[in-house]
Amino acid sequence: MNSEIIYRPWSNVCEELLEQKDSIYFVIDSKVRTHLPSWIQTFPKIYWVLDPEREKNLKSLELIAEAFVKSGISRSSKIIAIGGGATTDLAGFAAATIMRGIHWVSIPTTLLAMVDGSLGGKVAVNIPLGKNLLGAFHAPDKVYICEEFLNSLSVLETQSGKGEILKYGFLSLDIREMILNQDKIDLISMACAKYKKELTDRDFREKGDRIFLNLGHTLGHAFESTLRIPHGLAVAMGINYIFKIFELHGLLAEWKKLALSLGLPIEKLQVQAYSQFSLTKLINAMRADKKKDGQDIQIVLLKDMGEPFVCRLDLEQFLKKVEEYDEFKS
Ligand SMILES: NC(=O)c1ccc[n+]([C@@H]2O[C@H](COP(=O)([O-])OP(=O)(O)OC[C@H]3O[C@@H](n4cnc5c(N)ncnc54)[C@H](O)[C@@H]3O)[C@@H](O)[C@H]2O)c1
Say yes or no: CB of residue 89 within 6 Å of ligand 1.
yes
- Delimit the CATH 1.20.1090.10 region(s) of the chain: 154-183+206-329
Q: pLDDT, tens digit, for every residue of 196-255?
A: 999 999 999 999 999 999 999 999 999 999 999 999 999 999 999 999 999 999 999 999
Q: Alpha helix (H) ranges present in the chain?
A: 10-19, 38-41, 52-55, 58-70, 85-97, 111-112, 155-171, 173-180, 185-202, 217-227, 231-245, 249-261, 279-289, 315-323, 326-329
Ligand 1 atom 6 nearest Cα:
117
3-class DSSP state for residue 84? Answer: coil
Ligand 1 atom 12 nearest Cα:
85
- Ligand 1 centroid, distance to 116 Cα (angstroms): 10
* Cα distance between residue 6 and residue 140, in whole Å: 12
Q: pLDDT, tens digit, for every residue of 51-79?
A: 999 999 999 999 999 999 999 999 999 99
With bands split at pLDDT 50, 70 and 90, how would you rate the model's confidence at 292? low
Say yes or no: CB of residue 55 within 6 Å of ligand 1.
no
Say yes or no: CB of residue 91 within 6 Å of ligand 1.
no
Say yes or no: CB of residue 30 within 6 Å of ligand 1.
no
Mean pLDDT of the chain: 96
* Cα distance between residue 302 and residue 170, in whole Å: 8
What pLDDT score does 62 carry? 98
- Ligand 1 centroid, distance to 34 Cα (angstroms): 17
In this structure, are residues 97 and 61 in contact, taking their beta carbons and an 8 Å threshold?
Answer: yes
In this structure, are residues 112 and 160 in contact, taking their beta carbons and an 8 Å threshold?
Answer: yes
Say yes or no: CB of residue 254 within 6 Å of ligand 1.
no
- Delimit the CATH 3.40.50.1970 region(s) of the chain: 4-151
What would the mean pLDDT of 265-270 be, rounded to a whole number? 97
In this structure, are residues 112 and 161 in contact, taking their beta carbons and an 8 Å threshold?
Answer: yes
What pLDDT score does 296 carry? 87
* Ligand 1 atom closest to 150 (CA): 31
Q: Cβ neighbours of residue 209 under 8 Å, at least 6 residues apart?
A: 199, 202, 203
Class (C level, CATH) for 4-151: alpha beta
The neighbouring-strand residues paired with 105 are 80, 142
Residue 31 CB-half CA count within 13 A: 18
The neighbouring-strand residues paired with 125 are 134
Q: In the CATH scheme, what is the homologous superfamily, with its name and number, of domain 154-183+206-329? A: Dehydroquinate synthase-like - alpha domain (1.20.1090.10)
What would the mean pLDDT of 20-26 be, rounded to a whole number? 98
Ligand 1 atom 44 nearest Cα:
117
Using the Cα atoms of residue 42, residue 43, residue 46 and residue 51 in order, give the sign of their dihedral: negative
Find the angle CA(49)-CA(52)-CA(56) to the nearest 5 degrees: 100
Q: pLDDT, tens digit, for every residue of 43-52?
A: 999 999 999 9
Q: Parallel, antiparallel, or unpaired for β 307-314 and 296-304?
A: antiparallel
- Ligand 1 centroid, distance to 162 Cα (angstroms): 13
Say yes or no: CB of residue 152 within 6 Å of ligand 1.
yes
Q: Cβ neighbours of residue 175 under 8 Å, at least 6 residues apart?
A: 165, 168, 169, 188, 191, 192, 195
The residues that are catalytic are: 100, 122, 164, 196, 206, 210, 214, 217, 221, 231
What pLDDT score does 99 carry? 97
With bands split at pLDDT 50, 70 and 90, how would you rate the model's confidence at 303? very high
What pLDDT score does 295 carry? 77
